[in-house]
Amino acid sequence: MLEILLNHYPVLLEGLATTLVVSLSAIALGLVLGVLLAFGLTSRHGLVRWPCGLYRSFWRGTPILLQLLLVYYLLPEVGIEIAPISAAILTLTLNTAAFQSEIFRSGISHIPAGQIEAARMAGISSWQTRRRIIMPQVFRLTLPPLTNEIITILKNSSLISVIAVTELMRVSEQIASRTFQPLETYLAAALLYLAVNLVLALLSAHLERRMTGGLATD
Partner 1 sequence: MPMADTLSPSSPPRQKSIVEAHGISKQFGDLEVLTDIDFSLAPSEVVCVIGPSGSGKSTLLRCLAFLEPYDHGSVYIDGQLLGYEDRNGKRVRTSEKRVDDVRAPVGMVFQHFHLWPHRTALENVTEALRLVNGLSRQEADTEGMAMLEQVGLSDRAGHFPESLSGGQKQRVAIARALAMKPRVMFFDEPTSALDPELVGEVLDVMKKLAADGMTMVIVTHEMGFAANVANRVIFMDQGRVVESGPPATLFRQPKSERLQQFLNTWRERNID
Tell me which residues touch partner 1 (CB under 8 A).
112, 114-115, 117-126, 128, 132-133, 136-137, 140, 213-218
- Could you tell me the smallest distance in angstroms from the CB atom of residue 140 to partner 1? 7
- Could you tell me the smallest distance in angstroms from the CB atom of residue 142 to partner 1? 14
Closest listed residue to residue 203, CA positions, set 129, 146, 141, 152? 146
> How many Å apart are CA 129 and CA 110, to the nearest integer?
15
> How many Å apart are CA 62 and CA 95, to the nearest integer?
9
**Cα 11 to Cα 14, 164, 174, distances in angstroms:** 5, 15, 10
- Could you tell me the smallest distance in angstroms from the CB atom of residue 194 to partner 1? 34
Question: Which one, 11 or 124, has the nearer CB to partner 1?
Answer: 124
Question: Which one, 137 or 147, has the nearer CB to partner 1?
Answer: 137
Q: Say whether 45 sits in a helix, a strand or coil.
A: coil
Question: Which one, 16 or 108, has the nearer CB to partner 1?
Answer: 108
Residue 65, burial from CB neighbour count under 10 angstroms (0-12, 13-18, 19+): middle
- Could you tell me the smallest distance in angstroms from the CB atom of residue 116 to partner 1? 9
Question: Which one, 20 or 111, has the nearer CB to partner 1?
Answer: 111
